[in-house]
Amino acid sequence: MADEKMNLPKDAFEPLKAGEQLNNERIAAPSLTFLQDAWRRLKKNKAAVISLWVLIVIIVLAVGSIWFSPRNPNAQNATYANLPPKIGHGFWGFSGKANVAGAVVDAYKQAGVPKGTYYILGTDYLGRDLLSRILFGTRISLLVAFVATFFDLVIGVAYGMFSGWYGGRVDNIMQRILEVISSVPNLVVVILMIVVFKPGIFSISMAIAITGWITMARLVRAQTLKMKDQEFILAARTLGESTRKIALKHLLPNLSSTIIIQLMFTIPTAIFFEAFLSFIGIGISAPNASLGTLLNDGYKTFRFLPYQMWYPAAVLSIIMIAFNLLADGLRDAFDPRTRG
């Protein structure tokens, strides 16, 4: 090598003027904020994306049914009671035919329903359109869940931040209180609350929120403890920020991923509790309906008219699965280290 003369053409080199900047320090990819980065990771999780779309569709349908309900969910029509599902002139399972004592009969003909009138998911024991009722029930279930989650958020985050920020004796006392509260079975608290305050959308939401904020408070406290000694807080303090501003402007944004993940797990729990309470008969009362009350109504006759139970059960299960999958996806997206 050393003996050979290197023949490099002169024009292969380009002289660089003194002081001219090179681009080799440039970062080609756009710099992403924390949320953009999480969003990018979430998009890779197929199950989470599908769940997100499913939830969006369900929420839009449920909210939209305030204005565009197929029928009035509370309109009763005793002659059209317990009609099986039927679409158009009937196909597949939606034929409008019922199995009465082993013989297949056309329930629509028997009830004297005029041609062209059909109920996609059938009617219930009072002749109410099941599809409209499911949309209505989904709306109430989601409303209860969101209200409960909102209170959860406010109480839990405030309590956790306060406890973590002040530390010392305040923290100690607040944590002991949490310990005592958390060793009461939360269902018992929820039921007692509902026995005391009459069942209704607000009281159920409150009852669920009162038991649900504890996990949130614990998580937020742990994160606050970890963060309050970090440099960005010290910097803010040095610059003379007030405690309130530090908490709201510096601490809270950094807690956001913990909070969002926990919220996504709280919503399905709240939906479950509401359905549970309504199912055992102490939840939302008539004429309001939730998925739980629909299940309860359907359960009474499910051996003979199973569709009245299966449709609300399916909607409830789909919502629960979608929320859980989305929550899982969000947790992985916000904190890639937890990924198994």
Partner 1 sequence: MRKYILKRVLYMILTLFLIATITFFLMKLLPGTPYQNQDKMSASQIHMMNEQYGLNKPVWQQYLIYIFGMVHGDLGISFQFSSQPVSYLIATRIGPSLQLGIQAMIVGSVLGILLGAFAAIRKNTWADTLATLLAILGMSIPNFVFAVLLQYILGFKLKLFPIALWDNFSSSILPTIALAMMPLAETARFMRTEMIDVLSSDYIMLARAKGLTQAGVVWHHALRNSLIPVITLAGPLAVNLMTGSMVVENIFSIPGIGEQFVKSITTNDYPTIMGVTMVYSFMLVIVILVVDILYGIIDPRIRLSGSEVSA
Binding site for partner 1 (CB under 8 A): 179-180, 182-188, 191-192, 195-196, 268, 272, 275-276, 279-282, 295, 299, 302-303, 306, 309, 313, 316-317, 320-321, 323-325, 328, 338, 340
Q: How far is the CB of 150 from partner 1 (least distance, A)?
A: 22
Distance CA 182, CA 166 (A): 21
Q: How far is the CB of 32 from partner 1 (least distance, A)?
A: 26
Q: Are 141 and 271 in contact (CB under 8 A)?
A: yes
Distance CA 176, CA 161 (A): 16
Quick one: 108 or 334, whose CB is closer to partner 1?
A: 334
Quick one: 243 or 317, whose CB is closer to partner 1?
A: 317
Quick one: 212 or 250, whose CB is closer to partner 1?
A: 212
Amino acid (one-letter) located at 155 = I
Both structure tokens of 321: 């699965």
Q: 97-100 and 103-106: which strand pairing?
A: antiparallel
Neighbours of 298 (CB within 10 A): 21
Quick one: 137 or 246, whose CB is closer to partner 1?
A: 137
Q: How far is the CB of 309 from partner 1 (least distance, A)?
A: 7
Quick one: 122 or 312, whose CB is closer to partner 1?
A: 312
Q: Are 260 and 334 in contact (CB under 8 A)?
A: yes
Q: How far is the CB of 187 from partner 1 (least distance, A)?
A: 5
Q: How far is the CB of 61 from partner 1 (least distance, A)?
A: 20
Per-residue burial over 59-73, b if 16 or more Cβ lie within 10 Å, else e, is: eeebeebeeebebeb
Q: Which residues are bridge partners to 106 per DSSP?
A: 97
Q: 303 in helix, strand or coil? A: coil
